[in-house]
Amino acid sequence: MSRTAPGFNHLSHWGAFHGTARGDELVITPARDDPQPSPLIQNWSTATRHAARVRHPAVRRGWLENGPGPSDRRGSEEFVRLPWAEVLDIAAREIGRVYATTGPQSVFGGSYGWASAGRFHHAQSQVHRFLNTLGGYVRSVNSYSAGAAAVILPRVIGPYEEIYLDSIRIDDVARHTDVVVSFGGMAIKNQAVCGGGVDRHLIGLGLADAARRGAEFHLVSALRDDLPEVLGAEWHPIRPGTDVALMLALAHALVAEGRHDRAFLERYTTGFDRFENYLLGRTDGQPKTSRWASGICGIAAGEIDALAGRLCAGRVLIAVSQSIQRAEHGEQPVWMAIVLAAMLGQIGLPGGGFCYGIGSMADSGRDRVAMRLPTLGQFANPVRTFIPVARISDMLLNPGGSVDYDGQKLTYPDIRLVYWAGGNPFHHHQDIGQLKRAFGRPETIIVHESAWTASAKHADIVLPATMSVERDDIGASRANPSLIAMRQLIAPVAEARDDYDIFADLAARLGKSDAFTEGRSSREWLRHIYEEARRAQPDALPDFDTFWERGDAAIPVEPFDGGLVGSFRRDPAANPLPTPSGRIEIFSGTIAGFGYDDCPGHPSWMPPQDGAGSDRQADYPIQLISNQPATRLHSQLDFGAYSIAGKHGGREPIRLSPDDAAARDIRNGDVVRVFNERGSFLAAAVISDAVRPGVAQIATGAWFDQSPDHDGEVFCVHGNPNAVTRDAGTSRLAQGCTGQLTLVRIERFEGRVPPVTAHRPPREIVR
């Protein structure tokens, strides 16, 4: 088949590119029509043959010799390399044993969906399809990125996906918006990435167009570079986690000066009167004034008043990033931003009102495709048991325990087998010390991995999986107006195999071959899922062979008519919102009825336990922000060329202000120890005036690398912030991830600096 294509022949979550194998490396060229290609694609250049790759099937020695069971040796023990046939026999016997003895409710199907941009070789779909053919599995819901928003948005305005994708268009911002108040920012690094990828990155261009037209940008963040410099934003360096206090003060100013839109509130919302009583201090004796908020958020009262004055300066957009809801009470800033926008009366207008997540990923603010994308069916899961995704440690450690979630009382199952394909929980999850203890509880952990991540090193059976550049696939996403023929660019390393082929062989051993494969090979599945999608759009797409030879196919997009909120604004009676009242719920009787003290019936300021102003700050005075990285996607390809180039002496950089560095006698490049009662990590200091004093920032995604000299305590020498983050839900409503913020101490590291070994494979025994 042809290896040429118009500008690209592969798609990743961070963009389309052309790749040519030259020896063990790939020469990577961005898609020629991409105006702002992501540099992350260069991580592919050296990744496929890196020493970190899992090259052979392997079984943890203790599990192989002693059999299934809980173990505290996971993560520190050597592996035994075995032939594929023998390992598949072992894995199939163990899977069959668990299903036969304790049933599918004792199996957790772990995957986070980011392993491949391809529509067929999508690890999450593959593992869920396989486990469903066996009788089902315990699943997780929501995401680490948007756990709080995914629950609060449907309760007060509408479904998460529709609000995220259909509340605003970047073109409307470029044409209509006069003032953008961005809580948490719209960092360029985040605009590079989205699930499935895009062949053209456009968000940054739209924002720049708005600035050239004269739009005014205000950045509310502890990090000055959370908005592109070209926008000329006014920076309001807030204390992290205090956005709600600032929003309340802005709302108070609107009410005090009679500048809120009462007509809009009366027609389109419910419950403002109850919220107003709280805002003005009638219910708790504390008016939410700028002076009150200033003491909490660290922004001068005069600056808050001036910002409030800009909220009526034409078409105003209140924007919140995904980052600000990844913290204690993360539901509140999302809800309060909706209320603030409602008070301005502009929700549903082009370029105005409220938007969640614009700039958080490359597909936000863009038109959606108008067809069903090629998809591998997963079958129905008969097991009803689930957990919020960020509660995995709790589940494993507390079988039979319970947790509140969105008005329900969930009971944790007794998990005996964890099957993970496509994801690295030792990146995503908080408090690695607790996660390590949790990973010691199951009887067996099976992992498909392309590299020796910490998750693979904590498994019992590790099956080497191909990378997306080592196989053929179809690339597509919900906001990309083309399908991409993702051609294999390089041969699989050593004994790595596609997830599909691994599952097919296991299914055959378990008597489920026909159910899982339906008699199709990978290539036959590609043709099948493409033609299934084509049947719905026969005039829009060519046949599969033409598509594959050409390399891509244009697909139609839906014309934007204002989306859910735009239709609601035009006629709220004919197009009510899918909320109990049919309106925007400023007060939610449903949420109030749950009786959660950490998520009351309207947006409220609740001081954090592990943040600015808490009792812990006396002992741990620095507020750590652990945000998304600029040099990789999550922890993927941390060993890639671009990711490695961003490290300092092999360690992840941590930024802190000149004042905080001077107070600790820290200089640029110093190795520092960051710690609290949960653990510690080492990082390389970078002194920057783009960071608010009292705050430090480090990216997530450096692979966890436990120091062997500190057995019994969590001590990552590479710079993984989850060594210190707190594993607690946002609230009892959403139980979302709170890993964005925590309190720490920072000191210059003295003594011999331990080497970084994160990308080295574990010791293997060959039999």
Catalytic residues: 112, 114
Question: 753 CB contacts (<8 Å, ≥6 apart)?
Answer: 671, 682, 717
Encoded tokens for 717? 């020498």
Segment holding 13, helix H or strand E = none
Q: What distance, in Å, lies between the first and last C-alpha atoms of the chain?
A: 40
Residue 10 contacts residue 469 (beta carbons within 8 Å): yes
* Contact present, 203 and 191 (Cβ < 8 Å): yes
Residue 261 CA to residue 339 CA, distance in Å, equals 11
Question: CA nearest 238: which of 312, 307, 329, 300?
Answer: 300
Contact of 577 with 568, CB cutoff 8 Å: yes
* Look-up of token digits 């709170």: 738
CB 433 within 8 A of CB 459: no
Residues 6+ apart with CB under 8 A from 662: none
Sign of torsion, CA 92 511 531 522? positive
- Grouping H, G, I as helix, E, B as strand and the rest as coil, residue 11 is strand
* Secondary structure of 67-91 in HEC code, one letter for each residue: CCCCCCCCCCCCEEECCHHHHHHHH
DSSP string, 558-610: PPPS-HHHHHHHH-TTTS--SSTTSSEESS-HHHHHHT-TTS-SS------SS
Amino acid code (one letter) for 108: F
Beta strands in 350-456 (DSSP E): 353-356, 386-388, 402-405, 408-411, 417-421, 444-449
Q: How many helices (H) and strands (E) does the chain have?
A: 26, 31
Strand partners, 485: 474
Helix, strand or coil, per DSSP, at residue 242:
coil
Give the span between the Cα atoms of 508 and 515, in whole angstroms: 9
The amino acid at residue 546 is: T
**Hey, what are 158's tokens?**
């509408």
DSSP symbol at 491: P
Alpha-carbon span 255 to 379, nearest angstrom: 52
Query: What is the per-residue burial (b if ≥16 Cβ within 10 Å, else e) of 582-599?
Result: ebbbbbbeebeebebebb
Facing residues of 236 across strands? 220
H or E element, residue 227: none
Which amino acid belongs to residue 720?
A: N
Q: Which element (helix H / strand E) includes 674? A: strand 671-676
Residue 692 Ramachandran class (φ > 0 left, ψ -120 to 50 alpha, else beta): beta
CA distances, 229 to each of 201, 217, 626, 690 (Å): 18, 11, 21, 11
Contact 303, 124 (CB under 8 A): no
SS3 category, 713: coil
Which residue spans within 427-572 are E strands per DSSP?
Answer: 444-449, 461-464, 473-475, 482-486, 552-554
Kindly state the helix (H) or strand (E) to which residue 316 belongs, with its residue range: strand 316-320
Q: Classify strands 741-748 and 679-687 as parallel, antiparallel or unpaired.
A: unpaired
**Rounded alpha-carbon distances, angstroms, from residue 483 to 479, 499, 536:** 11, 22, 15
